[in-house]
Amino acid sequence: MSFTRWVWILALGVLVVVGGCAPGAVPSDTPPATEGAVGPTASLRAGMPLPLLIDTDVAPDDLVALAFLVGSPRVEVRAITVSGTGEAHCGPGVDVVLRLLERLEAPPIAVACGRETPIAGDHAFPDAWRTGADAGSGLALPATSREPFAGDAVRLIGETADAVDGLRVLTLGPMTNLADALRRRPELARRLETVYAMGGALFVSGNVAVGGPADNRVAEWNVYVDPTAAQAVIDSGLMVRLVSLDGTNQVPVTSEYAERVRREATGAGALMLAELFAGHPFMTDGSYFLWDPLAAAMAADYPLGSFSAVRVDVEAAEGPEVGFTRPVEGTPNVEYLSSADRSAVEDTLLETLN
């Protein structure tokens, strides 16, 4: 979708006023919001599942997001790419995804990995996080005869986009794979429908100070690891919706919700979530959020929050603000998740996983 078409669509949206403040020299007011329930081509897809490609870095919340989308009737997962610049390394990450699909009894889905280094720089997730992701976050995952896709992630993105009109993309880690695909084949920007990306922090603090540089208070991890990739995707002309910390901060994992999941889990996905909660106390101590599950739900057009249009520039220069998705004056080039309904998110996640 061209940027011009996106702006035209935004002009028809239902607008409400929201307020906010940001760290540093950013606009003092957040822009108007549009309801997240109405996707760019929702009226054209009434009653039909959305074709979706998921780009994942195989973190614990990614596994929940994958299970959610495999079980959702709103989408058809056409392919999964693993971001080797994210929490998992390529080989182990692909293996975890294939075995997860086996546990979920999912239909055959092509899985491939991309590069393991950012487009620029040398940022990376903490080694301990990567070790955990490589091991499937401690989940009991069965052996499988499923095989990876014969090519790399860039090839899989291109072939999937060629095979279906209006492919939607969801990125749950650094945007390296998608940026590489767009650089190799710029015309893909006309084939893809929308990009939903879990990433960014616009009018709230970032999160890289946890495990990363303590003096960086503005960047979010997925963008921080490969800011050049994030800017390339934004500059491609695609419609980009950032499921940023602005929205995900509104859906913390509470001990009450973890107990509800333990008590009510019956389906394969919900039992997996209960297993993750039981095995990882940090996920339920109040410091963890439903980052990727919320991004998955928004990408599947569940009516759980609102997006607001804004222009952002991604800070690529090394320093205490590298990776900042900085709001600036000018024509909007992204939408970001400005609000989310925690109760509705919790209900939708558990119901779909069951």
Q: Which amino acid is located at 71 in the chain?
A: G
CA distances from 125 to 58, 87, 132, 200, 353 (A): 12, 6, 11, 15, 28
pLDDT at position 12 is: 35
Helix (H, G, I), strand (E, B) or coil at 329: coil
Residue with tokens 């800070």, as numbered in its chain: 315
Tokens of 155: 């090839």
pLDDT at position 47 is: 76
Residue 50 belongs to what domain range? 3-353
* Alpha-carbon span 288 to 115, nearest angstrom: 28
CATH number, domain with residue 16:
3.90.245.10
Q: How many residues does the chain have?
A: 354
pLDDT tens for the chain, residues 1 to 354: 444 333 333 333 433 333 333 333 333 344 555 444 334 444 346 679 999 999 999 999 999 999 999 999 999 999 999 999 999 999 999 999 999 999 999 999 999 999 999 999 999 999 999 999 999 999 999 999 999 999 999 999 999 999 999 999 999 999 999 999 999 999 999 999 999 999 999 999 999 999 999 999 999 999 999 999 999 999 999 999 999 999 999 999 999 999 999 999 999 999 999 999 999 999 999 999 999 999 999 999 999 999 999 999 999 999 999 999 999 999 999 999 999 999 999 999 999 999
CA distances from 146 to 105, 106, 292, 342, 353 (A): 11, 11, 25, 36, 22
pLDDT at position 46 is: 65
Q: What is the DSSP string of 299-315?
A: HTT-S-EEEEEEEEEE-
* Alpha-carbon span 130 to 159, nearest angstrom: 29
Instruction: For 48, list phi and psi in degrees, rounded to 5.
Output: -120, 140
Structurally, the chain folds into a number of domains equal to 1
pLDDT at position 33 is: 55
Tokens of 56: 């994942």
